Structure 1
Amino acid sequence: MADSQNGLKRRVMRAWLGFWVPVKLFFRKADAAQLLLGGYLFYMLAGWGLLSLPIAQATPVSSLDNLFIASSAVSTTGLVTVDPGSSYTLFGEIVILLLIQLGGIGYMTFGSFLVLSLSHRWTRFRETVTRAAFPLPSDFDAAAFIRRVVYFTLAVEAIGALLLWPMLAGAGVDNALWSAIFHSVSAFCTAGFSLFPNSFEDFTGHAGIVLTLSGLSYLGAIGFIVMTTIFERLTRKRDSLGFTSTVILSVTVKFAIGGTAILFIVEPSIAGLEPAERLLAAFFQVMTASTTVGFNTVPIGNLSMAILMVMFLLMVFGASPSGTGGGLKSTTFAALVGLMRSVFKRRDTITYMGRELSEDRVHQASVSFGFYFLVLATALFALFLTELDAPFEQVVFEAISALGTVGLSMGLTGDLSTLGKLIVIVLMLIGRVGILTFGLAIVARDRNAPDRRDDELVM
């Protein structure tokens, strides 16, 4: 008996070392981008394991669908292959909510917050990873920023839940308090997960619910940089909002007003609604695409092709850096607009809103834009091979939605093939890590400087 127990201990120890040694080696050698990618991948797999437990499932859910839901939750995307509200128990829904929360404000954020709260120690390692997860202006104190992110997130989500609770109860929703908490967190983290099988299509004309969800989503999507600068401006620690926050707010407002006007005027599927309800529906769909929250109050599959093109633009560029949304971010859009303007006007400098942009920032925006469409084109090629019977526009919409962690779908998600689901899972992971960070994580750093500059290449 003793020999068998010792043999079991040795096997367990070997298995543990076989797992731990590669992990420890990875953490020693990995840079910040690789740590972010590895961290999000770990939480996806951990969520997959928890959702696969019998206690988490109200009805049998396949292993692949559990992985898909876990990946969608951690990436705060909201694409689902099964209905979360009917497929999972309360335990499963709590797991999904925790994954959304971790994914929404960054998997390192809570750990760093606890370290700061308990020991007040802030290491160079945490500083580096925090700035990789949250692109911050150079004058931002990363440690103070982490604290504000957690306090602000919990406060806004609590207020959102308190606002939604009586409205959902009044609308006859079962377990209204839990539903309010779940949807408040899902909205602020721009996750788009809903306990209702048709999202919020039953609340198209409910101004209170629609506007509360919109407020939560915008607060999450415009980013913690803006919230920090507004707070410091109100407490007189800053003389102005700063250039980054000004650009984010400007682009967000322009997208909201312009997109709402276009949908209100052009979209035929909402033309039969009363003017106030029609305006609310147009605004909500623009909001849900630009913040990448992924809720909907009208069926996405009924939207016209012209409006789908508007949605594509909003899904790619709507959210902002250091926020909970995905995509290429509003600041990337601003930099690209500045670049195009400078080329067309034959200027030597690149400006936006009267400010000169650094060459490094413009390079980052250009690389992000190019790599984004390279990844998208590769994914579309693969999806067109696996989803042979799916309409062209549905495949394109699904891929853009996954890569931008938007979560809107024209109805294709549940019908994806096994390979199609795996492709979308990879897209959601890339979208959550960030397209530029993903590129940095997978491409080996070139430590050799070029021999000489070649100025003969014509762009």
Structure 2
Amino acid sequence: MKQKWQGFCRFVSGLHPVRFVALGYVSYVLFGWLLLSLPISHGAGAVSPLDALFTSTSAVSTTGLTTVSTGRDFNGFGQLLILLLIQIGGLGYMTFGSFVVLSRSDSLSRRRQQIGKVVFSMPEEFRIDKFIRSVIVFTIAIEAAGAAALFFVFRQAGVDSPLWSSIFHSISAFCTAGFGLYDDGFEKLRGNVAANAILGILSYIGAIGFIVLVDGWRRIIGKTPRLTLTSRVILVTTAWVSLAATALFYVGEPTIQSLPPYERVTAAAFQVMTSITTVGFNTIPIGALSQASLFLIIMLMVIGASPAGTGGGLKTTTFSALFAVIRSALLGREKVTFWGKEVPEERMRVAIASIGFYAAALILGCYLLALAETLPFENLLFEAASALGTVGLSTGITAQLTPLGKLILIALMFIGRFGPLAFGIALFLPSGAKDDRSKEDLAI
């Protein structure tokens, strides 16, 4: 037995960082599945093994899609376990272990540094050891501040169990998980500007990513003269997409036209925020939205959050890179640039490959769902985009899916949390041999 364990440890330690991270996420999903399946997590018979697996995957991937009610079907222990899985999935499970190592020494092993860079998709100018320390500090401070602010708002609004609710939703918002304790989301708080603002700020901070947070802090304390190119691209892209989409939703969505002006603006801004950050909260029924608004939300879910953040989707930098490539092609330029800075060719290859992989996964997921289900295709498309983007928004069909349909969404949620990142990182791996193949042009 000891020899088998030693052999397993050697196997795991010899894995490439990409595979190591994937194995870690699978392990946490299975761990969560086991505990969520037990009666200590819910009432007897309230949650089936498949629904427990779905919930565990949704929590670790920080998606938020659910086939059962988090607030009604899971007890306090089950909800606490879901929150733990969300925190692990949102920050990356290696972050906590690395922080413990750093608290006892001044540096990480080479392997931990490699794994950390896989988890956070970090640019070269950031040091992983200092970065991880900052991630933990920022997370504790932001989630605590968010919980404190939500507590006063929830208590004033008459929300049940305001303390637990504020803690749960603060972590869920910052990790862009979208899990909530209320079956109707935050529809009752649609007109509560304070609640909308706090949840929105937490979600945006989590979505823009730790690269921007660390970079911004270094800029504030004077350690760097300006923000890095990555941070500037993230902030500008997020701002422009959010503003443009809010205007379109405000003008084009019929269900909010009868609301008071301030509530209409709040509802439009919140729904766009929840889509682009991939947090997945809602203040209006998603199933009642027009097809135009559903299509707009699908596009936002595909674009997604930012690298080294807690959100999913293609990432704002990938979306920006696509436009930069198109612009360079139209202008006849060989190099791709942002604000006069040339972007390395290998980064552009990763962006294009990620887009291709993402599109292929979404198309295949939609096709398989269409084979497995008899529900309207537009609802299945929305569900697939939400799962792959780790968003958690739904038109209300998740619980109606067949067991096969649920398994398809489980696969999409896992791919959304890990797949595009792994595919991009794989392109950086050295081939180990000189490439002597001849070149020949290809018409595009």
> TM-score, normalising length from structure 2?
0.96
What is the Cα deviation at residue 448 of structure 1?
Answer: 4.7
Given that residues 255 and 318 in structure 1 are in contact (C-alpha distance below 8 angstroms), is that contact kept between their aligned partners in structure 2?
Answer: no
Aligned to 1:213: 199
Aligned to 2:268: 282
Provide the aligned length of Structure 1 versus Structure 2: 443
Q: Describe the superposition over 1:213-242 as per-residue Cα deviations: whole angstroms up to 9, x where unpaired.
A: 000000000000000011000110000011
What is the Cα deviation at residue 450 of structure 1?
Answer: 4.0
**Secondary structure of the equivalent of 1:153?**
helix
Q: 1:399/1:308 Cα in 2 relative to 1: closer, same or farther (>3 Å)?
A: same
Q: 1:165/1:342 Cα in 2 relative to 1: closer, same or farther (>3 Å)?
A: same
Aligned to 2:234: 248
Given that residues 326 and 434 in structure 1 are in contact (C-alpha distance below 8 angstroms), is that contact kept between their aligned partners in structure 2?
Answer: no
**Secondary structure of the equivalent of 1:295?**
coil
Identity %: 49
Instruction: Give the Cα separation in 2 of the matches to 1:278 and 1:316.
Output: 25
Aligned to 1:419: 404
Larger Rg: 1
Q: Which amino acid aligns with 1:228?
A: V
Is 1:316–2:302 an aligned residue pair?
A: yes
Q: Describe the superposition over 1:356-392 as per-residue Cα deviations: whole angstroms up to 9, x where unpaired.
A: 22211111100000011111111111111111x1111
**Secondary structure of the equivalent of 1:161?**
helix
Question: Which is worse superposed, 136-145 or 81-90?
Answer: 136-145
Aligned to 1:457: 442
Instruction: Give the Cα separation in 2 of the matches to 1:350 and 1:131.
Output: 24
Instruction: Give the Cα separation in 2 of the matches to 1:380 and 1:283.
Output: 28
Given that residues 33 and 438 in structure 1 are in contact (C-alpha distance below 8 angstroms), is that contact kept between their aligned partners in structure 2?
Answer: no
Aligned to 1:436: 421
What is the Cα deviation at residue 354 of structure 1?
Answer: 3.1
Is 1:340–2:321 an aligned residue pair?
A: no
What is the Cα deviation at residue 442 of structure 1?
Answer: 12
**Secondary structure of the equivalent of 1:35?**
helix
What is the Cα deviation at residue 444 of structure 1?
Answer: 10
Q: Describe the superposition over 1:95-114 as per-residue Cα deviations: whole angstroms up to 9, x where unpaired.
A: 00000000001010001001
Aligned to 1:166: 152
Instruction: Give the Cα separation in 1 of the matches to 2:427 and 2:320.
Output: 27
Q: Alignment partner for residue 408 of structure 1, among 378, 393, 416? A: 393
Q: Which amino acid aligns with 1:318?
A: G
Instruction: Give the Cα separation in 2 of the matches to 1:448 and 1:305.
Output: 51
What is the Cα deviation at residue 308 of structure 1?
Answer: 1.8
Instruction: Give the Cα separation in 2 of the matches to 1:53 and 1:120.
Output: 41
**Secondary structure of the equivalent of 1:380?**
helix
Question: Which is worse superposed, 373-382 or 235-244?
Answer: 373-382
Instruction: Give the Cα separation in 1 of the matches to 2:288 and 2:324.
Output: 35
Instruction: Give the Cα separation in 1 of the matches to 2:381 and 2:341.
Output: 36
Gaps of 5+ in 2: none
Instruction: Give the Cα separation in 2 of the matches to 1:313 and 1:450.
Output: 39
What is the Cα deviation at residue 328 of structure 1?
Answer: 0.8
Given that residues 85 and 194 in structure 1 are in contact (C-alpha distance below 8 angstroms), is that contact kept between their aligned partners in structure 2?
Answer: yes
RMSD: 1.8
Runs (4+) of structure 1 exceeding 3 A deviation are 20-23, 438-451
Gaps of 5+ in 1: 1-12
Q: Alignment partner for residue 68 of structure 2, among 79, 82, 96? A: 82
Aligned to 2:19: 34
Instruction: Give the Cα separation in 2 of the matches to 1:315 and 1:190.
Output: 12
Q: Describe the superposition over 1:302-322 as per-residue Cα deviations: whole angstroms up to 9, x where unpaired.
A: 111112222122111130000
Q: Describe the superposition over 1:44-75 as per-residue Cα deviations: whole angstroms up to 9, x where unpaired.
A: 00011111121110352100000100110000
Is 1:144–2:124 an aligned residue pair?
A: no
What is the Cα deviation at residue 345 of structure 1?
Answer: 1.6
> TM-score, normalising length from structure 1?
0.93
Aligned to 1:349: 335
